[in-house]
Amino acid sequence: MYIYNSILGNIYLLSDGIYLTGLSFNKYNYKIKVLPIFKDTIKWLDLYFNGYIPDFELPIKLENISLFTKQVLSILKDVSYGTTITYNELSKKVAALRGLNQMAAQAVGSALGKNPIAIIIPCHRVVGKNNKLIGYHWGIERKKKLLEIEGNIYE
């Protein structure tokens, strides 16, 4: 584990030694280590919080989540920096991926709440109808600030 101090509070990084397996605002009581993946994640977060688009991907591993949640998060990774997608739009994409006609936006929202790698897998880019700020596991104020960093201003 490594603790990254951000403008949004401490961010806790978890790894299996090779892959980034967690990035959250939850406090963990693990021994602090400095691993190569943490150094890369720190560089990524430094770029992000200073208003730059990180130009590299981090090796991540999604553990202990359902196939459905993995599918939702895989689609979400394609939502570009500075853009947003509605819960409804995301649910349509998930439905298409699963070969279904429709999917409840609430099911997608529930899956987003299980995202183990916040910010890097950008669940903060999912907004409600008419771009309304709703539903962020880490709080609407954090969601608003992350979107502002990316150039999206919400009152």
- Which of the residues are catalytic? 123
- Taking the C-alpha atoms of residue 149 and residue 155, their distance in angstroms, rounded to an integer, is 14
Kindly give, in sequence order, each residue whose CB lies less than 8 Å from that of residue 77, ignoring residues fewer than 6 positions away: 121, 122
Q: How far apart are CA 41 and CA 46, in angstroms?
A: 8
Strands 126-127 and 85-86: parallel
The two tokens of residue 73 are 């998060």
